[in-house]
A and B are shown apart, each in its own frame.
Chain A
Amino acid sequence: MPTFVEPNACNACAGEHLGPLCVYICPNDLMVLDPGMNKGANQEPEMCSECYACVKLCPTEAIHIRGYADFVPLGASVQPKRVDGGFTWTVKFRDGRELQFTYPSRTTPVGSSDPYKDFTEDRVNDLGGQGLAGESKWLGVDRLPTLQAGN
């Protein structure tokens, strides 16, 4: 399909977000609100890369992936569930075997980044130099490498 929406589980993000979150996030403009059903749907399955952006964001876990019809046999599934700081993945094989893995994905609270914290580069006097913002703190070596004499 590759993403498909379980009709009974989708409530078009009522109360969560203005318009379905899958429509908001899809990087390829595929997910749409089907006006007849008032539910999310994939309008162009052959342009879906199964990136799972919508699956990961769906608040009711209504979105799943049915693998590409041209090479994926039926019966398997891979489904993520958001947990604190990462995801738990359930992998179901065609033959019924099941694996579960949990991986971290972020070490800091969402929204906590502080873009130029402790940056000391002078915005006027260092503009003509080669150093980037924050490099005196973050490059990891004292001096930015450049062409050595003799090269």
Chain B
Amino acid sequence: MALPAVETVECDILVIGGGMSGCGAAFESKYWGEDLKVVIVEKAVIERSGATGEGLSAINCYMGQRYGWNTPEDFVKYVVNDMMGLAREDLVYDVGRHVDSSVHLLEEWGLPVWKKDNGEYERIGRWQIPIHGESIKPVTAEPARKAVGPENIYERISITHLLTDANDSGRIAGAIGFGVRENKIWVFKAKAVIVTCGGASNVFRPRSVNEGIGRTWYSVFATGSAYGLMIPIGTEMTQMEHRFVPTRFKDGYGPVGMWFQYFHAHIENSLGEDYTVTRDSELRKYEPYGSAIPTPTPLRNHQMFLDIKEGKGPMYMRTDLAMQEIAGGDPAKMDKVREEAWEDFLDMTIAQALTWASQNIAPEDTPSEVVLAEPYIMGSHSGEAGAWVSGPEDLAPPEYYWGYNKMTTINGLFAAGDGVGAAPHKFSSGSFTEGRLAAKSAVRFVRDNPGAVTVSGDQIRQLSEAIWAPLETFDKHKGASTAEEINPNYITPKQALVRLQKIMDEYGGGTSTWYTVNQAGLERGIVLIEMLREDLAHQAARSRHELLRSWEVVHRTWTGEAHLRHLLHRKETRWPGYYYRSDYPDLDDQNWRVFVNSRYDAASDKWSLSTKPYINIFK
């Protein structure tokens, strides 16, 4: 089987991923770099790609500065508490101070935002505004596509590796991948690269099995590429031990935010108890965060977790009580709240609406089960795993600043969205905003560094062979067995994924081990995941579709390995409700209110871990 043709695209700025942050990056790049060639490369089609492709029922990051609702300082205080004391204040503030402009632009482009009678935005929480958001992604993609020009959007190309400069391994030079729908290797040479790819779903064994593993809470297309691309070239990462465990409606993983904040529903266990009341004293163990208002998300999880572990489940969201209370016996009011309740799912998690209908659940009559999901590793939403990036020059202390806002420790490599660590609670609007911030900074980098980058032909050849290897492996070895999926020479991408999920679940604190880890288990998990990483070079793909899956599981495995190594390094339980270290069960602000960073060195195949200080900027 011959290697396919290699096609090379030269550009100034390469945006990898066309989700919310990628669209923001493309849009902003082309304004400041009107004369620059800006390219988006995307494995799907930007109108429906990424985590918001299905739609959204709320924008969860909006300050409302024009209404005097919140200041960016308020946002920093809230986020730091919700993260149990660990978030980069400069990065969080930076998103907060700019995000309103992004939301207003989305509205201008056609996003329907719920309004009050006086024309102000409706609110469902301090930072949350409801939207009719089924089309948030096509509305966001359209101006990005127009801005860079449709000829500069390369779709159905899966990027597998970043390329560093042949003369300087600390300087980015582009990226390489393959055509998902045609036999072709694609090389993108770029002076600056912005990684806006997704965090990772399906790294941990999901609660659902078989077909249901596609119904992950976080997008199943988010395959950890943000991490799987940046880690192998030695990018310094931060907070990769962090994960998000969402409390969601059971199985369909429909959102609960609207139910808590707008409908004021509560969760009860099977005895009719409300854990936020019965387990209030538990919060005192985690001060000062236990007293924060609102209670941090992991601590609310932790309270529910204790109920479930004591056998007091199933847990039910009392949708019935909440809706009846709002309607107050008025059928017209009930019609309105029913319409709002179903829209919450139909705008963003349609599978949950189908789950309700299939189980005859009308929320005004029947409470609905909620569950703690499997863990997800991400840098947007409520996650904070990602690259260690420079902050903005007017906010960042010297320890957090090296010249270009959102630039990683690789020269010319920028990140946004799930790719930026220690900058959580961005959600859709904040990710779009962070893409814009990275882009403006990347334009400045290209202006300051206009020289051409050098990509080595040898590197391209080696990587092309590696990219195509799963197809070759199948071709070469298929004759060794009468069954394609049982062959001593290879594993399929699905088998690799399941192996990863089992390791992560059993040694990395998934659902089957009650989110609990310890040193011995993590060390054992690392041994097994190192073997998995070796075996990934022996994957077999029967089609380009399976080739896509082979590289997705490579990215997911880098994510999982980084997660295990960071969990091992942090000797405390910082986020009860997300995970527990049984050997260090307490939160230890004295020693561990620090960021955990890591760097992988390809030459020695070794990881080094370190800590970085938490610097309080907004006193």
Binding-face segment, B2-10, B24-32, B524-532: B24-32
Please judge, given known A-B contacts A71-B251, A72-B354, whether A145 and B71 are in contact too, CB under 8 Å: yes
B residues less than 8 Å from A2 (CB atoms): 211, 214, 351
Q: Tell whether, in the assembled complex, residue A70 and residue B618 are in contact, meaning their CB atoms are under 8 Å apart.
A: no
B residues less than 8 Å from A15 (CB atoms): none
Q: Tell whether, in the assembled complex, residue B357 and residue A147 are in contact, meaning their CB atoms are under 8 Å apart.
A: no
List CB contacts (< 8 Å) of B98-151 with chain A.
98, 100-101, 104-105, 107-112, 132-135, 138-139, 142-143, 146-147
Is A36 interfacial (CB 8 A cutoff)? no
Name, among B32, B50, B433, the residue most crowded by chain A CB atoms within 10 Å (CB to CB): B32
A interface bracket (residues with beta carbon within 8 Å of B): 35 or more
Is A141 interfacial (CB 8 A cutoff)? yes
List CB contacts (< 8 Å) of A74-109 with chain B.
74-78, 80, 86-87, 89, 91-95, 97, 99, 101, 103-108
A residues less than 8 Å from B134 (CB atoms): 86-87, 103, 105
Is B394 interfacial (CB 8 A cutoff)? yes
Please judge, given known A-B contacts A132-B28, A138-B108, whether A51 and B350 are in contact too, CB under 8 Å: yes
Q: Tell whether, in the assembled complex, residue A93 and residue B112 are in contact, meaning their CB atoms are under 8 Å apart.
A: no
Q: Tell whether, in the assembled complex, residue A28 and residue B221 are in contact, meaning their CB atoms are under 8 Å apart.
A: yes
Q: Tell whether, in the assembled complex, residue B211 and residue A78 are in contact, meaning their CB atoms are under 8 Å apart.
A: no
Residue from the list B101, B342, B354, B618 in contact with A135, Cβ < 8 A: B101
List CB contacts (< 8 Å) of A121-151 with chain B.
121, 123, 127-128, 130, 132-135, 138-141, 144-147, 151
Please judge, given known A-B contacts A50-B214, A138-B101, whether A146 and B54 are in contact too, CB under 8 Å: no
- Give A109 Cβ to nearest chain B Cβ, in Å: 8
Residue from the list B53, B100, B359, B394 in contact with A53, Cβ < 8 A: B53
- Give A40 Cβ to nearest chain B Cβ, in Å: 15
In the bound assembly, the distance between CA atoms of A127 and B27 in angstroms comes to 15
Q: Tell whether, in the assembled complex, residue B395 and residue A147 are in contact, meaning their CB atoms are under 8 Å apart.
A: yes
In the complex, residue of chain A having the shortest beta-carbon distance to the beta carbon of B253: A49
Q: Tell whether, in the assembled complex, residue A70 and residue B357 are in contact, meaning their CB atoms are under 8 Å apart.
A: no
Name, among A32, A67, A92, the residue most crowded by chain B CB atoms within 10 Å (CB to CB): A67
Is A47 interfacial (CB 8 A cutoff)? yes
Name, among A72, A80, A119, A144, the residue most crowded by chain B CB atoms within 10 Å (CB to CB): A72
Q: Tell whether, in the assembled complex, residue B48 and residue A133 are in contact, meaning their CB atoms are under 8 Å apart.
A: no
In the bound assembly, the distance between CA atoms of A73 and B393 in angstroms comes to 55
In the bound assembly, the distance between CA atoms of A2 and B208 in angstroms comes to 14
Q: Tell whether, in the assembled complex, residue A115 and residue B443 are in contact, meaning their CB atoms are under 8 Å apart.
A: no
Is A8 interfacial (CB 8 A cutoff)? no
Is A44 interfacial (CB 8 A cutoff)? yes
- Give A145 Cβ to nearest chain B Cβ, in Å: 5
B residues less than 8 Å from A111 (CB atoms): 142
Residue from the list B31, B97, B208, B360 in contact with A68, Cβ < 8 A: B208
Q: Tell whether, in the assembled complex, residue B359 and residue A70 are in contact, meaning their CB atoms are under 8 Å apart.
A: no
Residue from the list B108, B138, B212 in contact with A70, Cβ < 8 A: B212
Q: Tell whether, in the assembled complex, residue B350 and residue A78 are in contact, meaning their CB atoms are under 8 Å apart.
A: yes
List CB contacts (< 8 Å) of B1-39 with chain A.
27-28, 30-32, 34
Please classify the interface of chain B as helix (H, G, I), strand (E, B), loop, or mixed, using the class held by over half of its residues. helix
Is B410 interfacial (CB 8 A cutoff)? no
Is B347 interfacial (CB 8 A cutoff)? yes
Number of interface residues of B (CB under 8 A): 91
Is A43 interfacial (CB 8 A cutoff)? yes
Residue from the list B211, B346, B357 in contact with A92, Cβ < 8 A: B357
In the complex, residue of chain B having the shortest beta-carbon distance to the beta carbon of A71: B251
In the bound assembly, the distance between CA atoms of A106 and B180 in angstroms comes to 31
Q: Tell whether, in the assembled complex, residue B109 and residue A113 are in contact, meaning their CB atoms are under 8 Å apart.
A: yes
Please judge, given known A-B contacts A67-B354, A113-B109, A151-B619, whether A140 and B104 are in contact too, CB under 8 Å: yes
In the bound assembly, the distance between CA atoms of A144 and B98 in angstroms comes to 8
List CB contacts (< 8 Å) of A52-71 with chain B.
52-53, 65, 67-71
Please judge, given known A-B contacts A105-B112, A138-B108, A141-B65, whether A147 and B617 are in contact too, CB under 8 Å: yes
Please judge, given known A-B contacts A51-B54, A68-B212, whether A132 and B358 are in contact too, CB under 8 Å: no
A residues less than 8 Å from B73 (CB atoms): 145
Is B461 interfacial (CB 8 A cutoff)? no
Is A34 interfacial (CB 8 A cutoff)? no
Q: Tell whether, in the assembled complex, residue B353 and residue A78 are in contact, meaning their CB atoms are under 8 Å apart.
A: yes
Q: Tell whether, in the assembled complex, residue A29 and residue B44 are in contact, meaning their CB atoms are under 8 Å apart.
A: yes
- Give B358 Cβ to nearest chain A Cβ, in Å: 4
Residue from the list A44, A93, A113, A139 in contact with B142, Cβ < 8 A: A113
In the complex, residue of chain A having the shortest beta-carbon distance to the beta carbon of B497: A47
Please judge, given known A-B contacts A50-B215, A103-B346, A123-B32, whether A25 and B143 are in contact too, CB under 8 Å: no
A residues less than 8 Å from B55 (CB atoms): 105
Q: Tell whether, in the assembled complex, residue B66 and residue A27 are in contact, meaning their CB atoms are under 8 Å apart.
A: no
A residues less than 8 Å from B111 (CB atoms): 106-107
In the bound assembly, the distance between CA atoms of A108 and B112 in angstroms comes to 9
Q: Tell whether, in the assembled complex, residue B214 and residue A105 are in contact, meaning their CB atoms are under 8 Å apart.
A: no
Q: Tell whether, in the assembled complex, residue B358 and residue A75 are in contact, meaning their CB atoms are under 8 Å apart.
A: yes
A residues less than 8 Å from B436 (CB atoms): 132-133
- Give A149 Cβ to nearest chain B Cβ, in Å: 12
Known: A48-B220, A146-B97. 4 other contacts (CB 8 A): A29-B180, A50-B214, A65-B354, A73-B358
**Closest 5 A-B residue pairs measured CB to CB?**
A140-B66, A108-B110, A76-B358, A76-B357, A105-B134
Give 15 A-B contacts (CB < 8 Å), ordered by A residue: A29-B43, A49-B215, A49-B216, A52-B350, A69-B211, A76-B357, A80-B346, A103-B343, A105-B55, A105-B132, A107-B111, A113-B109, A132-B436, A139-B104, A140-B65
